[in-house]
A and B are shown apart, each in its own frame.
Chain A
Amino acid sequence: HLATSLPLPSERDHLRPRIDLVVFMIDIKSKYSLKNVETSLAHVDASFFLGKVCFLVTGVGRVNACSIETNAVCKLGEAYCSPVLHCELELEGVRAATAQRLLRMLQICAGHIPGFSALSFVSLLRNSDDD
């Protein structure tokens, strides 16, 4: 399900399936996308931040088109205890690899991988970052 911002319209609440993972997409070329994500974050229930949220930064191949400081996004990830993924949407290989990663994360968050919970996965990611 794609949305340009949160909260989702309440009219369709009863028709909506369970949400297992929220991916916030930030375009490094657009300051507006960061602001939009920051305001949308306020509408997400705190329980999601136990491994069911991640940030996806796009446009990172274009160093010269940066409108956002990469540090700002990293700080956002730290503040919300959620991983930050980077992706260059225009490159098919990277796009496919990122999609597979997200799918894998979704499987874990939906509880389809025995022995692995969303929370344990996210702590694994955080520990490897600190190394």
Chain B
Amino acid sequence: FNLIPAILFSPPPRQENVDPQKTAFLLRKAWTLYSVTPLYGFRRGRLRDYARLLSAFIAAEKQKGLAVEVGVELDIKVALSSLAELRGSELDQAALLVQLSSRSRASSRSSEDKPVWLGWFCSVFGEDLSENVPEAFTCLPLFLTHGAESYTSLVGRWFQKTFDCCFRRLAISPMNLSWMVAMWAGCKLDRAASAVELVFSMPRLSQPLDISYAIHPEDAKALWDTVQKTPGEITQEEVDVFMDCLYAHFHRHFKIHLSAAKLVKVSTAVASAHCDGIVKILHSQYLPGVLMLLTELAISQIQ
């Protein structure tokens, strides 16, 4: 559940050769994260068959009374596609996209399809998992969804049934959130960035109390630059020093020990992440880096 313990870790790589148009749909959406065990018997060439089967499964479940929307006559159309751009290296599988759109029965033109749910499987530098797995398995350990939970459940159940895999919500510990905020606050950005925000939940109170600690992005980056000793490497000690500085500063002003509270959410101009496993990626340049981190978290949850 930890990120790499105190050794080399490169900061998010900047990828100039990925067409930003193809991945623009990933940005600025809140994605719910899951870890997925390797898929058995998945064939990249059978995507259209799978789409048909999943479509039939969803229709059948609706018939059984597990209707997602009551009183509205909607057909759910399923589309599966591959996105070769979304991967870390040639060793990774290309990302797999699942799109659910609704078409009102009244109209049969495909231009009237309304996207209702989007999910995608990916692996960015996930060799740690794929190198230890037999041939028949496809490794795509990270699953991200956007849309109603009921659809996520339907899609998840079909994949579990068909490929004998297992989905688990990916929770992000305060320690991992600290790594994220330290790394992302230190990223070089071309335009003016939004504030770096940390949200803490105070423990053991009768009324829930959240503390939001916002820092000017330039101050945060300046702090990280003084802490990080070797560009291209991040250690646990450096993350600890960074966080301790933030805690000390807060304590000096408010006499509250944030280190005794639970860090639940971090937000930077690069991305934001919540401990319940919800992320939003805001900057296309650092998309591969963020996905690499999340892939790693997913893999450690599986193992």
Contacts and interface: CB of A to CB of B under 8 A. Distances in A.
A66 B1 CA distance: 9
Contacts of A71: 2, 5-6
A64 B301 CA distance: 10
Interface stretch (B15-23, B172-180, B190-198): B172-180
Interface string B6-50: 100000000000000000000000000000000000000000000
A65 B259 contact: no
Contacts of A30: 203, 259-261
Contact of B260 (A32, A64, A69): A32
B2 A67 contact: no
B191 to A, nearest CB: 33
B259 A67 contact: yes
Contacts of A85: none
The bracket for how many chain A residues form the interface is 10 to 19
B214 to A, nearest CB: 20
Interface string A13-44: 00000000000000001111101000000000
Contact of A63 (B5, B173, B203, B236): B173
Contact of A32 (B2, B178, B259): B259
Contacts of B216: none
The bracket for how many chain B residues form the interface is 20 to 34
Contact of A69 (B203, B236, B261, B263): B236
Given A64-B171, A66-B1, A32 B262 contact: no
Contacts of B175: 66-69
Contact of B259 (A31, A63, A64): A31
B74 interface: no
B223 interface: no
B174 A65 contact: yes
Contacts of B247: 31
B227 interface: no
B174 A67 contact: yes
A31 B260 contact: yes
Given A31-B243, A69-B5, A64 B236 contact: no
Given A29-B174, A64-B173, A35 B236 contact: no
Given A31-B259, A66-B173, 7 more contacts: A29-B203, A30-B203, A31-B243, A33-B260, A64-B275, A66-B1, A69-B2
Interface of B: 1-2, 5-6, 171-175, 178, 203, 236, 243, 247, 257, 259-263, 275
Interface of A: 29-33, 35, 63-71
